[in-house]
Amino acid sequence: MFNLDHTEELLIDSEDLTSCFNLFSLPRCWTQFTAFGKAVDSSTFGHPPGELMYPAISVIPMGWLSSVSLTQAIVRHLVFDLSGVPKATEVRKTADFPAGSNVSVIYLDSF
């Protein structure tokens, strides 16, 4: 709950990153951690037949233990590092409430 002075204004903005786990691709070196356990014939993927391949997910797997943390780190990088929102404005439960009148709340798929 916020208590605003009559001269203050509360601004709220949100951008829903629908299906956010599927928006961001993982580095190619991570495929060894997201590969399925069953090999399939390479012709499945348009390669010449006769070679076995292990399909792998190239996006963040939903349900993976680190999925939320990884996606949260990506969104924080977009908001703070690339968009220039000051990190000191972030409201986090692991830190004191930010000083000043500007605050930011980052939650997985919205800002």
Q: In the prediction, which pLDDT does 111 show?
A: 46
What predicted TM-score, i.e. pTM, was given to this entire model?
Answer: 0.61
Q: In the prediction, which pLDDT does 95 show?
A: 87
Q: Which amino acid is at 103?
A: V
Q: In the prediction, which pLDDT does 108 show?
A: 64
Q: In the prediction, which pLDDT does 23 show?
A: 79
Torsion of CA 38, 40, 44, 50, to 10 degrees: 170
Please identify every stretch of the chain with a pLDDT value under 50, giving residue numbers as ranges: 109, 111
Looking up tokens 């299906």, which residue turns up?
Answer: 19
Q: In the prediction, which pLDDT does 46 show?
A: 92
The residues, any chain, with a CB within 8 Å of residue 98's CB and separated by 6 or more, are 88, 89, 90, 91
